[in-house]
Structure 1
């Protein structure tokens, strides 16, 4: 048995002060602040703790440019203990992505791009011959514990002249594999009115707060009826901030109309990590804190909500007996300028900053 690790004087998002004792990589005890016992004690005074942050939309296949990065560079080093690669790889390269997680400390899952070439090209659905249905099914069967859904990027620059047909093919594959879809939306055609009605309960709209034409809100800032209907039938909304897919104005409209947060994700890769506007998960979370969502709502969007969508509730809780996956973070009360994907700026008086993680029982400072 390894010596106990005690994380002392942490706060939950509800303000409760606790110690967490970790033994052999698992949470052994959650106790009153100051009462945890063990040889190795880390004083976490002033820090919050949540279950480990989950990024439902990231790009972790470094060989593909421009949309790629190293797993741990966008994972544990940024306070994220679990990332889901959002369709970087199709059937041609998914085995390589699955193998890469063996060399990372960040938990990794993936959406399989329905195009076998994946993001080796940025117009991967412009040729229907690249959607090899047999290879999709084979890849899903070979990587059942790794692939959590299918990815289809349905915007003009990706589908070209094929229009809505790739999405129709994706729906057939979704039914055949019993996996949900995550659908990237952006500039049309296809129009948003064509895309959204095809999505079913459990499917994911990513980039739902983008500010380009063909978005989910009208000129007056009201949600389109297709969005209202999708929410009512249980379609999941995911932020997918990215370089070009998050608008403060659209997000403010969504908040005004009471559209709650499902999951906050980054759509991070090397370029927008180093050069912005994403930078890291904490920066994206800070934008939603500034928009007026509570700390509990913001953190739930990268913990319990994401874990429940994945069907892995243990990743979204802090519970004795579970493998320890935790994120430690601070709330800074200093002015900070936050920038969206359109260059629009907001000055916030509070921000979130990741300070460390426990990834599968191992403590790592950020």
Structure 2
């Protein structure tokens, strides 16, 4: 007999206290706090929040590609994240191996396909245009159409070498031919930021948009580039992609003052920056945005509703009766914490987000 699990006395991010009932992997009821009936009652005594399962739009979960890789569940449900998007670790050559690695993982996984067939086998994967094989790319997309949600192009100087903006022009053509949007990594130039922005279209993603490098999205006076504002108007999506080298408190403060908010918050996590920082986990990254003055609702919506909308999978961004249960349970603790960005700058915060558990595809797991 399947038992009913009751998550009792939990709060939504808007402060509503409820009980959530789970059975046969699904949310079967949402009732007033303290009224849920079931065989297994887990009473959180109004001390925790619950949201739909967190979605991390930018991770690297193919451990064979050192140093930019990790085990799926280590960057997934064990950190409170129920769905991860591998951000171009593999291209056409190794995407099947990434898919195979998901078989025994609990975490939900999708992927951006690297436009270079070699993926992150080496970190200058766009320095040789012969690696941008459209035939292989299209064949892989057809074979794994339910797994691939977009294309990844890392457009920074160390990746493209002497090819400049040409790999992004090729990526644009690949995107047009396949109907898949682009996630574009931005970093040190050349190519220059205005060249990159000119090529981005609706639903494309700029990841690392808060990096502190010279070739960023803000001018020397701290104003957003006019072409960034035009891109946002076109529907280009802004993603954090914290990572080892791509999040600056200073840039984030400039962006907030200039009203250039994130659409999604992601970690760009892999083994090294998970174990040694500055990323550690999604909760740590979300805590940084609480510190910056964003509301809890804004922060959590970025890893639930907004991410699910971009993925065209609204069920992953809501808590609704009848849906497969993917939930994250967390608290906001009044506890001092030192937060570090990718440049080594430290901020002292008075609150932190702490993950308590997840429900992943109907399975409750304490974290």
TM-score normalised by length of structure 1: 0.99
Q: Is the 8 A contact 1:261 1:298 kept in 2?
A: no
Structure 1 runs of 4+ off > 3 angstroms?
none
Does 1:235 pair with 2:253?
Answer: no
Per the TM alignment, residue 44 of structure 1 is displaced from its structure 2 partner at its CA by 1.8
Q: Which residues of 2 match residues 100-119 of structure 1 at below 5 A?
A: 100-119=101-120
Moved more, 121-130 or 212-221: 212-221
CA shift, 1:260, in A, is 2.3
Q: In the alignment, what sits opposite 1:288?
A: 289
Query: Deviation at 1:323?
Result: 0.2
Partners in 2 of 1:308 and 1:197 — Cα distance?
A: 24
Report the alpha carbon displacement of residue 202 of structure 1 after superposing the two structures with TM: 0.3
For residues 99 and 43 of structure 1, what CA distance do their matches in structure 2 show? 38
Residue 281 of structure 1, CA deviation:
0.1
Contact 1:205/1:237 (CA < 8 Å) preserved in 2?
Answer: yes
- Cα distance in 2 for residues equivalent to 1:64 and 1:259: 34
Counterpart for residue 277 of structure 2: 276
Counterpart position of 1:16: 16
Between the aligned partners of 2:171 and 2:153, the Cα distance in structure 1 is 7
Contact 1:261 1:297 (8 Å CA) reproduced: no
Residue number in structure 2 paired with 1:25: 25
Query: How big is each residue's C-alpha offset from its partner over 1:218-238, in whole Å with a ceiling of 9 and x where there is no partner?
Result: 112111111111111110000
Shift of 1:42: 0.8
CA drift of 1:261 comes to 2.3
- Equivalences for 1:239-318 in 2 at 5 Å? 239-318=240-319
Q: Distance between the aligned counterparts of 1:94 and 1:15, measured in 2?
A: 42
1:6 alignment partner in structure 2: 6
CA–CA distance in structure 2, aligned partners of residues 329 and 293 of structure 1: 17
CA distance in 1, matches of 2:102, 2:282: 20
Q: Deviations over 1:112-163 (max 9, x none)?
A: 0000000010000000000001000001000000000000000000000111
5+ residue gaps in structure 1?
Answer: none
Residues 91-240 of structure 1: matches in 2 within 5 Å? 91-240=92-241
Separation in structure 2 between the aligned mates of residue 158 and residue 233 of structure 1, nearest angstrom:
27
For 2:160 and 2:104, the matched residues in 1 are separated by 34
Post-superposition CA distance 1:90-113 (Å, at most 9, x none): 000001111211110000000000
User: Could you tell me how far apart the structure 2 residues matched to 1:346 and 1:96 are?
Assistant: 40
Q: Residues 330 and 354 of structure 1 are in contact (CA less than 8 Å); yes or no, is this contact kept in structure 2?
A: yes
State the alpha-carbon separation in 1 of the partners of residues 77 and 235 from structure 2: 31
**Which blocks of at least 5 consecutive residues in structure 2 are unaligned?**
none
Deviations 1:227-274 (A, max 9, x none): 111111110000000000000000001100112220000000000000
Q: Work out the CA distance in 1 between the residues paired with 2:345 and 2:43.
A: 38
Q: RMSD value over aligned CA atoms?
A: 0.6
